[in-house]
Structure 1
C-alpha cells in the first residue's frame, strides 16, 4: 500500500511520533475462519509494518474474521472476486470499506526516513539517505554523507525504535585507515558500547568495532572460501583481522596462521580462536602481529617449505595429505596486490625440489578495479608484480560491487600444482553481493 504521509514531516530534526498518526480507509471482507488458511490471497492483502490484516470481527465472534485488503489493488467487489475467487460468496455478502488508524509503529524504517528527509536530497548524486546500514551485533553502522548529517540523530532514533536488537547507532567519520584498517566513528544514539558479539560460519566473534575492521557484507565471500577448505589444509592469512577466515578454518581442522599489523585485531583474533577452539577438530593455530611482508618472509614461506619437505619425506603423510593444499589469504583490497612482490622474490629464489612438492599453494588476493575490463586490468597489473607466474595459473572472479563503477575482485594464483587444478566447489552457488 502506498502511504501518503503528511508533508509537515519533511525536514523534521526532532522525532515527533504523533505526527505519523493518520486514518485511512481500506476494503474488507468477512470470511469464515476455516477459509483463511486455504484461500490464495496473492498480493491482495493489506501489508503494513506491525499490522494484522486478518482481525477479529468482535470479541464474541469465533466463526468469522475480517480480512483487510490493499486499497491500491482492491477497489471494488469485483476486484476481490478476481483476485481471490474462493471467497466470492463472502465478498458478495460483506464487501465494504472501513477506516483504520495507522501510527508511527506501522511504518518501516525506510518509510519513516523517506517521509522526514527533504525530497531534493540525492537528486544530483545518489547518496545514502539513511535507509542503508549494516548490522554488527548490537550496532547499526551508517556511512552518512554531509547532506544527511543534520538528520543523523533522528535517523538513529528511528533505528533504535524499530530494531529491538540494536542498542547503539554509529556513523563512520573518515575513510578506512590503510595501515590498521579501522576508521573513526561517532556514536549518534544509544549505549556507548562498541564491543560486539556476532555469529558467522558457525563461529562466534567478539571484537571492539571502533578499533578493528569488520564488514558484514563480506560474509558471503568468507563463506565461499571456508567451503573450499579441507580438513588438514594449511592456512596463512596475511591480513587476518579478528579472524573471520582463520577461526572457521581452525574449527574445520585446518592448521592456521593468522597475522595482522593492528595489535587490537590480533588481540580479538586470539580471543575468537580460543573461544571457538574444539579438541574434536584437532585444530592448530598461530597468531602474529607483523607487517604483511615480514609475515610472508619470516613465517609463511619458511613454514610452507618445511611442510613440503616434511610431507615429501614421509610416505604416510604424502598419501594422507595428497588431496590437501596450502592457502594464502590476502584480503586488503586497496593494496594487497602490491604485497605479491614478496611472492615474486620467493619464487625467484632457489627452492630446492619445488617441482616435486606434494601440496599446491593457492593464493587468494583481493583487489579493486574500475576498468571496463576488470579481469584484463588485474592481469596487466599482476604481470608487472609476478612475471614468473603464467596466465593459466591465474583466475579472477567478481566478489561485490562497492561503488557504481568500482568492483571488489578476487584473483586466485595456483603454484606448485602438479595435479589438475581443483575447482572451487562447482556444485555450490553463491549469490553476488552488489550492496554498497
Structure 2
C-alpha cells in the first residue's frame, strides 16, 4: 500500500509496495486470439507510468544509483535497466540521465519521496519527473506471451518445453493446443534466437516407423531439417526427418559413457547416429556401432570421419538380434589376429635456454617435442552392450544366450575379465514404488531364460541376476523411460547357442 499522507514509507513498506505493483505491471496485456488467428505483436505494447530521478550531473549518477538501490526506491526489475536517457529529447541529446524509481514513488506526490530523493533535491542534484516506460513484444518471455494469448484453461501445460535438434524445435502438442499451433510456433521462433524451424509431430514415434522417425508439419520458419548438433564434445550432422535424435537424452548418454574405460570394447546394438559411440571413441574405447536404419548408418559413417574416431568406432547396418552374436564373434576373431590401434602424438616440451631472436649470438633453439606412442590392443571380449531402443530392446536380450559358448577361459576366474555389463533401455509404468523394477525384471527373466531380480549391482563385481534400474525420464503422465543394467549371467553367456 502507499504511504500515508505526511509520512515517509519504511524500507519494508517500500519493498512490499514494489512487489505488489510488479505483480501487475510486469504482466503483459491480455491478448486473447481466436483459434487460427495470426499473431499481432503490436498488441503486446504496454505503457507504464513511473517516476524518475532526473540527475543533473553524470558525476553523481553512481552515487544515487547505489543510494536509491539501498533504500529500495530504485526500480529493480529483470531485463529493465534503471538508468535511462532523459525523456526530454533535448536534454537526452545532451547526455542527461534518469534513474527509474519504484512504482510506489509518485512524481506528483512528494510525500512518497524517500530521504535519498529529498536529500538530492535539497542539494539540487536531482529532480523527480514523470516517466512513461514502454514495454513491447520483445520484452515479454515466451511463457508470458503464451499465457496472454491462450485461454486460461490451457495455462497449466504451456508448451514451453520441447526437443531441440540444432536449429529445429520439435513440438508434440496436445489436441487442445492444436487450434493455436501456429501462434505457439511463432512465439517459440521469436523468443529463441537459435531456433529457425518449428515443427509438430503428427504421429507417435515408432508407431509407423521401426526406425523411430515420425511424420511432421512445419509450423513456423524454414522447411529445413538438415541440422548440426554438438554433444559430449562431438559434432553430429543429420537429416532430422530421417533419423532418431533426442537432445533430452544428453545426460543419459553422458551417464552411460562414464562407465566405459579406454581400451575396452563396447557393442552399441542400436547406435543411431552415434551419441554413445562417438564420444566413447574419443575416450579410446573400441565400439562396434550398429543401426538397422540405412539413413542412421549413413550419418554414423560420416560422423565417425568428421569426429576422427575411425580408429576406434566401426559402423554396421544389421538387425540387432543377429548383431549381438556377430559382434561378439568378430571382436574375438579380430583380437586373436592381433588387431590394435597405435597412436603417436607429441609429448611435453622440455625446458631449454633460448634468446628472443634466432639471429642473436648464443641462441639455443627449442628442441622438438619428443613423440609418445600409445598402443591399444583390441581385447578379445566385449565389456558393455548398449541397447537404446526402449520400445523393444528387452525383447532382444534372448540373443545373449550362448554368445561365449565354450569360452569360459576368457573370463574370471581364469582371467581378471568379468562378463559384460548390459545396459537396456525400456519403457515401464511411472511409479515411486518397486512396480516398474519388478515388471522390468520379469520381462528380462522371460527373454533371458534366467531369473533376474532388483538389486544394487556393483559395477565392478559379478552381481549374478541382479538388475540396477535407473529412471531416465518421464515420457508420458503414466509412463517413464528406464535403463536396466545387469551383468550377463554365466548360465546365459556360456549356454549352448540355439
What does residue 272 of structure 1 align with? 303
Aligned equivalents of 2:128 and 2:277: distance in 1?
61
2:390 to 326, 333, 339: 333
Q: Does 1:186 align with 2:213?
A: no
- 1:398 CA displacement: 1.7
Q: Helix, strand or coil: the match of 2:314?
A: strand
Q: For residues 211-226 of structure 1, what are the structure 2 equivalents within 5 Å?
A: 211-226=242-257
Q: Which residue of the partner structure matches residue 34 of structure 2? A: 11
Where do residues 33-72 of structure 1 align in structure 2 (5 Å cutoff)? Answer: 33-35=61-63, 45-48=76-79, 51-57=80-86, 59=92, 66-67=99-100, 69=102
Q: More deviation in 362-371 or 380-389?
A: 380-389
Q: What residue number does 2:484 align with?
A: 411
Higher deviation after alignment, 402-411 or 285-294: 402-411
Alpha-carbon shift at residue 139 of structure 1 (Å): 0.8
Is 1:201 the equivalent of 2:232? yes
Give the aligned length.
Answer: 387
Shift of 1:102: 1.4
Task: Summarize the alignment of residues 166-177 of structure 1 with structure 2, pairs less than 5 Å apart.
Answer: 166-177=195-206
Residues 334 and 378 in structure 2, CA contact (< 8 A), matched pair in contact too? no
Equivalent residue for 2:407?
Answer: 351
Change (3 A) 1:338 1:416: closer
Cα gap change, 1:34/1:150 in structure 2, threshold over 3 Å: closer, same or farther?
A: same
> Please, what TM-score do these two structures have when normalized by structure 1?
0.77
TM-score normalised according to structure 2 size:
0.68
Three-state SS of the structure 1 residue aligned to 2:185 is helix
Q: 239, 244, 249: which one pairs with 2:275? A: 244
**Paired position in structure 1 for 2:313:** 285
Note if contact 2:54-2:98 (Cα within 8 Å) is conserved in structure 1: yes
Given that residues 325 and 359 in structure 1 are in contact (C-alpha distance below 8 angstroms), is that contact kept between their aligned partners in structure 2?
no
Root-mean-square deviation (Å):
3.5
Superposed, 1:35-434 pairs within 5 Å as: 35=63, 45-48=76-79, 51-57=80-86, 59=92, 66-67=99-100, 69=102, 75=104, 89-90=116-117, 93=120, 98-121=131-154, 127=157, 129-177=158-206, 179-277=210-308, 283-298=311-326, 300-306=327-333, 326-346=383-403, 349-353=405-409, 354-355=411-412, 356-360=414-418, 361-370=420-429, 372-373=433-434, 374-388=436-450, 391=453, 392=463, 393-415=466-488
Q: Call closer, same or farther: CA 1:310–1:377 in 2, change over 3 Å.
A: farther
Secondary structure in 1 matching 2:228: strand
Aligned partner of 2:356 in structure 1 is: none
Shift of 1:227: 2.5
Question: How far, CA to CA, are the matches of 1:260 and 1:333 in structure 2?
Answer: 14
- Measure, in 1, the Cα distance between the counterparts of 2:382 and 2:75: 54
Tell me by how many angstroms 1:390 deviates: 5.9
Query: Any idea what SS the aligned residue of 1:121 has?
Result: helix
Say which is worse superposed, 283-292 or 153-162, in terms of deviation: 153-162
Does the 8 Å contact 1:344/1:385 carry over to 2? no
